[in-house]
Amino acid sequence: MRHLHPFLFIPAIVAAVSSYAELPIPANPRWEPITDEVYMQETATHIETEHPLLAVAVFDSKAYVGDESGVWRVEGEKLVKAGGPSGPVTRLRTLGDALWAMASDGLWKYDGAAWVKVSGQSVTDVCLYNGRIIAASGTQLYSVEEDGLKPITEKGPAELLGVAAYGGTVYVHDGKRVGLLERDKIIFEEIADWGSLQRGCLVRDILAFGSRLYVATDEGLGLLRGMTWYQILGEDGLCYENTTCLAEGFDHDLWIGTVRGAIRNVKDEYQFFGYPRWIPNDRVNAIACDENVTYLATDGGLGMIRYESYTLAKKAAHYERWLEEWGMKRLGFVHLLLFEDGEWVREVSDNDVGYSSHYLSAKCFEYAVTGSPEARAEAVDMMKSMKWSEEITPIDGFPARSIYAVGEKTHKAMHGSGGLPAEWHPTEDGLWEWKGDTSSDEVDAHVYACTVFLQLVADKKEREWVTEHLRRVVGHIVDNGFVLRDVDGKPTRWARWDPEYLQTPYGYYARGLNGMEAFNYLTTAYFFAGDEKFAKAKQFHLEQGYLPDIIRQKLTFHPGFFTHFDDRLAFYSYYPLIQHEQDLELKAFWLRSLERSWEVKRIEAVPWFNFIYGALTGNDCEMDRAVAHLREWSLDLRRHSYTNSHRDDLYPGPGYRMYSERPKHLSPRETEPNRWDGDFMRLDGDCGGKMVADPGGWLDAYWMGRYYGMITAPKSNDPALTTVPKRGLKFGAQPYNGPARPKLRHEQ
């Protein structure tokens, strides 16, 4: 990599210190605000069964399923016997004013009052055609009459397995081919003039859908329009090609069952619903839809995906309620939960202060948008805990990673950095332990959160102690040779910005990110505190020649360097640095770096990154994808296992380059709720529902979007669409019952 000679580019440090102000909003941005319109938010419940469910239908607003023993009705969260056939039921259809069951002992009809056995003849499928019920049985089609089945065709060349009425014609399939009824004959040849169905495929279901006839096969979907065949495969967006069944949805959408999950096609978008979050088994055998609910019969039971009207504002309120009901707050920090020994406990983690900075910032943005005194009070309280993380240690300016109350019931993180053991240190009073070996993550979080708090929340007195906190933390780094120096007098594992580290092979790879972090700390501290030692330290760093590395701080080679947690640290740094940089030539370098990093990152559509890029540049930041990401987070914040590596649609979208080994951006619906250092492109996960993610990052992004006008206020004024009721329920960890946070220096 080419490096500039240090004396060829050393801009003068601007001496002026800016006054406090609101965070600047770009004038005439190139992005268009996204209206917070009502959208449909999905939730899932399961009814697990010991035997496969083979059929499902909705009749008179109730769901019925069929299995090897007959027909069952869904009552709440359980199945009850519904009468009718007592043997295996392979298909259920709702046609006209009746429910039809295709059973091993014949065709049955249920009118809502009683079951009637229409015929003892085996029937594989029925459809409604010109006001008549048409049944497929053996190699023929029949009209269903009051006295049984009346043949309407001659015997055909193969056993018929499915039937559908499309375009004024009855279509059939025999498991290999699709044919049609022509007068009194079934023909399989020359039913189309252009294209063909995939040769050698297994046909499993057909569905008439407006102007189309869809065909489910083991090699994708066939699509007949008029007399032309098309194929729909993974490269077209179909998530998995080995399909089993089809159903029309409730909103002009199409549902597709596969042997490895379910797919919803709505407005030309394919959405994947996998096991175990959404359905109780991989294999989907039948699907039926009612108003705002989809029922999926699988080998392991019934999946029920319900849709409810939501806005992003309502979702934010839901996550606030979740934090309270699940006991995720403690001492001014926000925690994820772990399921251990039969109960949920908070994790006192490796980075509590850093992770909590997102929720702290969310409260700051919320206060700036709404003026809520509750949001302001919580922001102030959390900022005090951030300051406490520095005051609890015996080293001036050295912040702890996390704080543990001795004896509290929690999961205490016992891992350290880079495979080293955890460093927990007791306080003199014996009440607390603080986690040392602090990394750059915490400093990045402190500078980011202080920036947002100082410019959106702080009054005169709060500005004094928060600015002093920023001065102490960054001052410690400068005074100790550009490192965080731990209790043993040595630099911590990951908090090094000194030339002795960055100019050697051991730390050379970190020159870009760590170099930018250092400029951010010094620039931001100087902006708020005005201490000349920060300006002098910045001049020293300019002489180290880091600028070309900072432009390329986002590492893409080799694959082991493609990290997502470092992306979060980089955007933590871009946000204050670019705002506070007074030298236009230096700002051009930081913006050039941001543009390069954003181009690599934008495929993921993770909104916090999108919004930061848009806020700093005023450029288009693909807000439609970012807002879709916010909407697609599950209401259930438990991290369930998921599998996507089997999918057939793993291609980069048009206009995106694949920079890592993972080719496709995945929706949060298809993965798991994540902090912004998580990997939304990871194909598989195995948490098993035993971890609860905190929504601080989501709330930070949402309220940031609201502050910058990227997301509007809700379009609806209906409280049912913008708020959630308080319920006083408790689901997760028990309330914290340890000692209170001690008074801080400025409070004494």
Same domain? For 262 and 349 the reply is no
Query: In this structure, which amino acid lies at residue 525?
Result: A
Q: CA quadruple 491, 493, 496, 500: dihedral positive or negative?
A: positive
Same domain? For 433 and 388 the reply is yes
Same domain? For 243 and 386 the reply is no
Is the residue at 9 inside a domain? Answer: no
Is the residue at 345 inside a domain? Answer: yes
Single out the residue of 323, 363, 445, 334 nearest to residue 707, CA to CA. 363
Same domain? For 462 and 498 the reply is yes
Mark which of 282, 308, 334 sits at the end of a domain: 308
- How far apart CA 28 and CA 618 sit, in angstroms, is 7
Which single residue is written with the structure tokens 């930061």?
Answer: 612
Judge residue 696's burial from the number of C-beta atoms within 10 Å of its C-beta, 0-12 exposed, 13-18 middle, 19 or more buried: buried
Model confidence at 661, pLDDT cuts 50, 70, 90, reads confident
Name the percent of the chain in helix, strand, coil, to the closest 5.
Answer: 30, 30, 40
Q: In total, how many domains does the chain have?
A: 2
Please give the average per-residue pLDDT across 243-258, as a whole number: 97
Mark which of 286, 308, 330 sits at the end of a domain: 308
Is the residue at 747 inside a domain? Answer: no
**What does the mean pLDDT of the chain come to?**
95
Under 8 Å between Cβ of 339 and 691:
yes
Same domain? For 245 and 341 the reply is no
Is the residue at 27 inside a domain? Answer: no
Same domain? For 315 and 302 the reply is no
The domain in which residue 163 lies consists of: 42-308
Which tokens hold the place of 420?
């080293």
Is the residue at 140 inside a domain? Answer: yes
Is the residue at 126 inside a domain? Answer: yes
Model confidence at 20, pLDDT cuts 50, 70, 90, reads low
Which tokens hold the place of 505?
């092979």
Q: How far is CA 300 from the centre of its chain?
A: 25
Query: In this structure, which amino acid lies at residue 719?
Result: P
Q: Is the pTM above the cut of 0.85?
A: yes
pLDDT higher than 90, residue 519 = yes
| pLDDT for position 680 | 87
Query: Domain holding 536: CATH number?
Result: 1.50.10.20
Query: In this structure, which amino acid lies at residue 199?
Result: R
3-state secondary structure of 458: coil
Which pairs with CB-CB distance under 8 Å and at least 24 residues apart come from 196-203?
Answer: 196/229, 197/222, 197/229, 198/222, 198/231, 201/176, 202/175, 202/176, 203/161, 203/162, 203/173, 203/174, 203/175, 203/176, 203/177, 203/178
Model confidence at 662, pLDDT cuts 50, 70, 90, reads confident
Please give the average per-residue pLDDT across 148-169, as a whole number: 96
Same domain? For 610 and 671 the reply is yes
Same domain? For 416 and 557 the reply is yes
pLDDT higher than 80, residue 274 = yes
Query: Domain holding 47: CATH number?
Result: 2.130.10.10
Is the residue at 539 inside a domain? Answer: yes
Same domain? For 297 and 390 the reply is no
pLDDT higher than 60, residue 188 = yes
Is the residue at 222 inside a domain? Answer: yes
pLDDT higher than 50, residue 4 = no
| pLDDT for position 559 | 72
Same domain? For 543 and 656 the reply is yes
Same domain? For 495 and 574 the reply is yes
Single out the residue of 698, 699, 707, 700 nearest to residue 668, CA to CA. 698
Model confidence at 21, pLDDT cuts 50, 70, 90, reads low
What Rg, from alpha-carbon coordinates, does the chain have? 31
Please give the average per-residue pLDDT across 113-141, as a whole number: 97
Mark which of 269, 289, 308 sits at the end of a domain: 308
Residue 284 CB-half CA count within 13 A = 33
Same domain? For 209 and 330 the reply is no
Model confidence at 320, pLDDT cuts 50, 70, 90, reads very high
Single out the residue of 224, 230, 91, 247 nearest to residue 162, CA to CA. 91
